[in-house]
Amino acid sequence: MKDYILVTGAAGFIGFNLCKYLLKEGINIVGFDNFNSYYDPLLKRKRIDVLIKLASQSKGIFNIVEADLKNLDEIQKLFEDYNISKVYNLAAQAGVRYSIKNPHAYIDANIVGFCNLLEACRKYEVQNLIYASSSSVYGGNTNTPFSEDQSVNHPVSLYAATKKSNELMAHTYSHLYNLPATGLRFFTVYGPWGRPDMALFLFTKAILENKPIKIFNNGEMIRDFTYIDDIVECLYKLLSHPATPDINFRKEKPNPSSSWAPHRIFNIGNSKPIQLMEYVNALEEELGIEAIKEFHPMQLGDVKITSSDNSALEDWIGFRPNTPVRDGVKEFVKWYKNFYKL
């Protein structure tokens, strides 16, 4: 029986781009997604169409399973039907602001769904689990750049709380069942095929339609914008670098990023945070249009600054994200205009 890598959230932004990379490497994939309506499912369907076409031209196999992680029976069937050796969990209910109004969606997808996946990984002895956490776990922390050995005990959104919960759950399974698990704290990922609810997509659409863009905290936000291709490169390299026990771990002085169990936590960001207005300016220059700007106070659950210390990740895999923001914005605009035939 052929070995497969499971990618949950395969129709999502990061999952789709990862699947493209894996297929080009000739890797067999079973994609898993519930195609929910958090944003336009048609975009998700088009991503899958691209993957199916790419699979027909590559040595890798791509199968898509449409189901929901919160359904344990569906997860069990998935692992019974395929010989899954490694897992990327990129499925989640995303969005900080959406979690304020729809908390139960986050518990169902990010807690119940992740628990079901952990159970399947345990039962079927998965060799490497790589799962998405978030820079949001740093919450009210203002000690930048954020490092994995800092406390993440003060989340400011339910989304962040569910992601910290994922890290705790994964560590528990690593300890109890020797499951190698790596949690990745993503920092504001952007690029082609991005999510329509994120700033770059929203801003581009509004500017091209001559509509105002909403800029929160009066533009005084700082973000560590991280280009999708850099993220995917890191994800791929982690396939051959599963988590291992830290032989230097001291229980009397525990390091939150490692463990005596095979569990690791890494930041995954560009390490070059910029003002939001610089991001907007890069987009304006690429489009050749000045945005109509509406300035608003900071929203509930948001944070002023994100900044990633990537030294641990670079030590682990020998690579760190490095794409300049202006280069990434240029690639996104090129994709956007092509996709919407502008």
Which residues are the active-site residues?
A: 159
Task: Give how far Cα 31 sits from Cα of 19, 35, 70, 311, 327, Å.
Answer: 8, 12, 16, 31, 29
- Tell me the residue length of the chain: 342
The answer to whether residues 186 and 10 touch, using CB atoms and an 8 Å cutoff, is: no
C-alpha 113/C-alpha 92 separation (Å) is: 8
